Amino acid sequence: MTEPHYDIFFRGETLENFEIDDVKNAMAQLFKASPEKIAQLFSGKVVALKKDLDKPSAAKFKQILEK
């Protein structure tokens, strides 16, 4: 049987107690992206960040985003 794979999507929302500017700066460093590219992630549209990950990789990526 084939292992399930997971996609990671981002809606441009932050968790409680996180300032949006801090999140944008951290994501810019994480993805090595320009402020313009990061602004697109916060446009209000759902954006796929990663696709076709195995469960451990998806869980690790989720943890990184939650930090």
User: What is the tens place of the pLDDT at every residue in 2-61?
Assistant: 889 999 999 988 888 889 999 999 999 988 999 899 999 999 899 999 999 999 999 999
The CA-to-CA distance between both ends of the chain, in Å, stands at 33
Global confidence as pTM: 0.75
Q: What is the pLDDT of residue 1?
A: 64
What DSSP state is assigned to residue 8? E
Cβ distance 3 to 9 under 8 Å? no
Closest CA to 29 of 18, 40, 38: 38
- Cβ neighbors of 40 (< 8 A, separation 6 or more) are 47
